[in-house]
Copies of this chain bind each other. A is one copy, B any other.
Amino acid sequence: MNTIHPVILCGGSGTRLWPVSRKVKPKPFLPLIGDETLFEQAASRVAGDSRFAPPVVVAGPQHIDLIEEQMTGEHRLIVEPSAQNTAPAIALAAAMLPADDIMLVCPSDHHIADAQAFRDAAIAAAALAQDNWLVSFGIAPTAPETGYGYLHRGEALPGGFKIARFVEKPDLERAEAYLASGEYSWNGGIFAFRAGYLLEELAQHRPEMAELVAQAVAEGREDGTRFYPAADPFAAIDGDSIDYAVMENTQRAAMVPADMGWSDIGNWAALQDALSDEGDEAGNVTRGDIDLDGCSGVLATTDGPRVSVVGLDDVCIVIANGEVLVTTRAGAQRVGKLPGAVNQ
């Protein structure tokens, strides 16, 4: 098999994890689960395994310092001149790689508990990608989530399946039916592509985007391990997600099933779930100087001040960076719209 290049995307802003996640240091660069940051985990997940090349990181200029600080091993860094969603970011990396090599696109704002399962799925996905399948990781669903896109499994392929259909965020009833059917997976935003083939498909479905990306790369400049695409053509792109731009249009969409303890840690309630192993017998998860009295299902975390909590159930309490957030688990979805999160 040709070389597999992990491509780590650093675009996630994580505003629903405010006030811990902030513009100056967003979600990927925070140690939300364990001692490593999510970005560090995305890198170490494929480090020390000769099947994977050193990673290519795609990120905005505002995060270069965080990346250089957190990634000490060999890597290349593509500095996005502007934020244009995932399709242009992935296309930049594709254009920088040998056409026959495999790119393994990994968001850096997700958590994956089982790195071995991830690598196994990556190898299966890479094999399909080498045969010019555009491969999405199909995350084994564990709940009727209404906030994710779903992949409907089609006919079998070696190590995976064709994708019969993409489903946007369903309502609860349909989500429950999908979960019960066993035929649906979550679309986790993890992909394997042969670089050259991805660019071919992009040129077919989004010719203008493909051309502007090619121009941004042609007119870009190298600076050591960093590559700066030209800003003007890149800014002219009408940004879009890789799903909309390519995956939902191609005839060659495939998926590999992946049951690997994935979580997008989409909000404080999701983080609480991902940390449930650390909880006490009443399901409370605490970090820092926390006193609980008669609580259950509480996530409480503080970066300094003591927090005293009495009688609460299913609430997330976050003290960070001089801000105080108290939200129900159900309300956690709305945190990104709070004035404090919006007006950073």
Contacts and interface: CB of A to CB of B under 8 A. Distances in A.
Interface of A: 19, 291, 293-294, 302, 305-312, 315, 317, 319, 322-328, 330-332, 334-335, 337-341
A326 B339 contact: no
Contacts of A305: 322-324
B294 A308 contact: no
Given A324-B305, A326-B326, A335 B310 contact: yes
A92 B338 CA distance: 56
Contacts of A294: 331, 334
B325 A311 contact: no
Contacts of A307: 324-326
B340 A326 contact: no
Contacts of A332: 310
B330 A311 contact: yes
Contacts of A324: 302, 305-308, 317, 319, 324
A206 to B, nearest CB: 38
Contacts of A317: 324, 326
Contact of A338 (B293, B327, B330, B337): B293
Nearest to A328: B311
A19 to B, nearest CB: 8
A337 to B, nearest CB: 8
A119 B308 CA distance: 40
Nearest to A304: B322
Given A291-B338, A310-B328, A311-B331, 14 more contacts: A291-B339, A293-B331, A293-B334, A293-B337, A305-B322, A305-B323, A306-B323, A307-B326, A308-B325, A308-B341, A310-B332, A311-B334, A312-B326, A312-B328
A70 B164 CA distance: 77
- Best-buried of A322, A332, A338, A341 by chain B (most CB within 10 Å): A338
A228 B331 CA distance: 57
A179 to B, nearest CB: 25
Nearest to A319: B324
A344 to B, nearest CB: 12
Contacts of A327: 308-312
A326 B309 CA distance: 5
A340 B293 contact: no
Contacts of A340: 291, 306, 308
Contacts of A309: 325-327
Contacts of A319: 324
A308 B328 contact: no
A312 B315 contact: yes
21 contacts: A19-B308, A291-B338, A293-B337, A305-B323, A305-B324, A306-B323, A306-B324, A308-B324, A308-B339, A308-B341, A309-B327, A310-B332, A310-B334, A311-B330, A311-B331, A311-B334, A312-B315, A312-B327, A312-B328, A312-B331, A317-B324
